[in-house]
Amino acid sequence: MSNPHRKARRIKRGVPRYPKRTPLLGRSCDRISMDMHTALARLFVYPSSDARDDVADILNVVSLCIQGDRRFLEEQAVLEQAATVLNAYRAPAVLSDDDRHILANTASVIDTILGLLDTETLAESEHAYVVAAKAARMNGAGAAA
């Protein structure tokens, strides 16, 4: 028989304490990596502002993903160094060997951390980057008019 003075157990509902995160795996990692390496190869072989912008887009999205994450402090420094190289680059100039080395190293670092990211954070970062790019474009168009 049950004891009438015993406290009733509280039934816990299936509410997670933190949102579930889906790791970035397989085709998603491969797609991002292939896009990055293709853009980087284009920048090295046929330097252009379009190739530079493609590399910068991937660099910026990954930077937004790891921003504020203490696990990626060293990687953030590498990405900032690559951003400095890309900001100083003017097409169709040829990149120096040091700049090529920095960008190639950054591509390796991004390949390494892609498997540690999650799909939700990447999607949020891509969305934030697109919104910021559109706002910058609108501000630039408003100033030119």
Q: Six-digit token pair at 75?
A: 């990687």
Q: Give the Cα separation of 103 and 85 in Å (integer).
A: 8
pLDDT score of 139 more than 70: yes
**Side chain identity at 12, as an amino acid letter?**
K
The model's pTM is 0.81
User: With 0-12 CB in 10 A as exposed, 13-18 as middle and 19+ as buried, what is 29?
Assistant: middle
Bond preceding residue 92 cis, omega within 30 of 0: yes
Summarised one tens digit per residue, pLDDT across range 92-133 is 999 999 999 999 999 999 999 998 999 999 999 999 999 999
Which of 11, 55, 3 minimizes the C-alpha distance to 33? 55
Domain ranges of the chain: 26-129
User: 80 by DSSP, 3-state: which?
Assistant: helix
Q: Mapped to the 3 state alphabet, what secondary structure does 8-37 carry?
A: CCCCCCCCCCCCCCCECCHHHHHHHHHHHH
Contact by Cβ (8 Å): 121, 21: yes
What pLDDT, on a 0 to 100 scale, did the predictor assign at position 14?
Answer: 66
Q: What average pLDDT does range 40-46 have in this prediction?
A: 96
In angstroms, the CA 85 to CA 1 distance is 76
pLDDT per position as a tens digit, 51-100? 999 999 999 999 999 999 999 999 999 999 999 999 999 989 999 999 99
Amino acid 145: pLDDT: 44
